[in-house]
Amino acid sequence: MSRTVIKLGGSVLSDEKLRPGLIDQIRRLIVAGQELVLVHGGGKQIASLLDRLRIESRFHDGLRITDRSVRDVAQMVLAGQVGKDLVSELAAAGITAASLTGGDGSSFLAEKLVAEDGTDLGFVGKIVASDSRLIEAMLAAGILPVIACLALGRNDYEYYNINGDQMAAGVAGGCAAETLVFVTDVGGVMDSGKNLIVELTRDGMSDLLASGVAAGGMRPKLRACLEALDSGVGSIRIIGAADERSLLRALLTREPVGTRISSN
């Protein structure tokens, strides 16, 4: 059975028009025999609650600077609202799911991440260790894991906010997934002329990062793709949620959709 990690971005999940179609595609993939693990972000939802609490949102190189108060908000939003709402909608579609974080079962452990230029990002981490037993048990029992991008610190046991794309890469590597799919609010990776790049290699991603063509949230996404390739993930797709059949096209019919990434 083919195992796929699907990462649903917070901007996608905040769009009420897109969510029902995504849930239905996930249902159809499971019916077709796909073994799925979901990873979700929640950046827009975190930003909304921070605004209501009058806490400033700050970013550096596409990553949210996360002091303790921001980390606590992220934990409430991701492990609470976003994950539980997803489980509810999946249940309504006939899918048994359970929401968890990387801390549950010590499934994914992190270390503090320091930006390339030395900037202190606070409680932002990177996945450094995994234990797939809980996820394997859930899949064996027919339960769809829905994982928030939070992980326990390996040394201090604090919760760390993990960039959603990097969390998805860590989950894909940790549970030996064959395929990783990023469902985004854009159709894929764009070149300097804003044209879709259909096929992208490891060297191509490195060039986009070095040249600055990849900017904002695309930078951690491409870094996550490189990490996923390094961990043995064989196929990566970056697709747009606006195409109501994008997941089915990427995973079932294998039609050209979005950007396909390979290690060659």
Q: Scan for tokens 């949210």, then name that residue.
A: 64
Q: What CA–CA distance (Å, rounded) separates 25 from 138?
A: 21
For residue 262, pLDDT over 90 is answered with no
Q: What CA–CA distance (Å, rounded) separates 149 from 167?
A: 6
Domains of the chain: 3-261 (3.40.1160.10)
pLDDT tens-place string over residues 120-152:
999 999 999 999 999 999 999 999 999 999 999
- Token pair listed for 5: 């990690």
Higher per-residue confidence, 243 vs 6: 6
- Note the pLDDT of residue 256: 84
Q: What CA–CA distance (Å, rounded) separates 118 from 116?
A: 6
> CA nearest 127: which of 191, 61, 223?
223
Kindly give, in sequence order, each residue whose CB lies less than 8 Å from that of residue 231, ignoring residues fewer than 6 positions away: 169, 170, 172, 173, 174
For residue 1, pLDDT over 70 is answered with no
C-alpha 221: how far from chain center: 9
- State whether residue 235 is helix, strand or coil: strand
Q: What CA–CA distance (Å, rounded) separates 246 from 25?
A: 9
For residue 186, pLDDT over 90 is answered with no
CA angle 207, 170, 44 (to 5 degrees): 80
pTM of the model: 0.94
- State whether residue 193 is helix, strand or coil: coil
pLDDT tens-place string over residues 67-85:
999 999 999 999 999 999 9
